[in-house]
Amino acid sequence: MNTNVSFTSFPRLDTERLLLRQETPEDALAVFAVFSDPKVTEFHDLDTFTKLEEAFGVIERRTKRFEMGRGIRWGIASKQDNILIGSCGFTWDTQAMSAEIGYELNSTYWRQGMMTEALQAILQFGFFECDLRFVTAEVMLNNIASKNLLFKLGFQSRGVLKQHGFWKGQHHDLEQFVLARS
């Protein structure tokens, strides 16, 4: 990441249907709605939420990561009502001038092009505002929808990293994807 890029405030991004903005404690119910759905957490490194406090914890960790300059996570809100339906963002690797991308979406909004729209906006921001050289993603092998999304955005598979992730009490093979700035 360009070390000259510093955020004086959290950058808001607008797309045709979406507002990408900082999550606040007022968004806890919406965040809980996303992560309390086992369909959403099936391929995620978080357990399915059972308590609202878990949503407050995620929002707080994401805020701290941004303040420490380690990453940025936008809440994805519908422009119609400004209610969060998911999130997406980067974890910076400043030495490599790159980032790892992550995302999740309320299952009610799957297969409507919402995440494609959100990720196109943050990828443009990452490449042109933050001067990233490339962006990576790591996906569980059975997460076909996520792989298809990455291919649609132009990512290429780098292959499988054996036993690369560990969560929910077990190791996971992950497929790594990369998108270089064109």
Give, for all 182 residues of the chain, the pLDDT tens digit. Answer: 444 446 778 999 999 999 999 999 999 999 999 999 989 887 777 788 999 999 999 999 999 999 988 999 999 999 999 999 999 999 998 888 899 999 999 999 999 999 999 999 999 999 999 999 999 999 878 888 889 999 999 999 987 767 655 445 666 678 999 999 87
pLDDT for residue 172 = 63
N-terminal to C-terminal alpha carbon distance within the chain: 16
DSSP 53-99: HHHHHHHHHHHHHHHTTSEEEEEEEETTT--EEEEEEEEEETTTTEE
pLDDT for residue 3 = 42
pLDDT for residue 20 = 98
Q: What is the pTM of this model?
A: 0.89
Q: 13-133 has which CATH code? A: 3.40.630.30
Give me the residue spans of the domains in the chain: 13-133
Residues 6+ apart with CB under 8 A from 43: 139, 140, 142, 143, 146
pLDDT for residue 96 = 81
pLDDT for residue 6 = 60
Task: Name the residue with tokens 């270089």.
Answer: 180
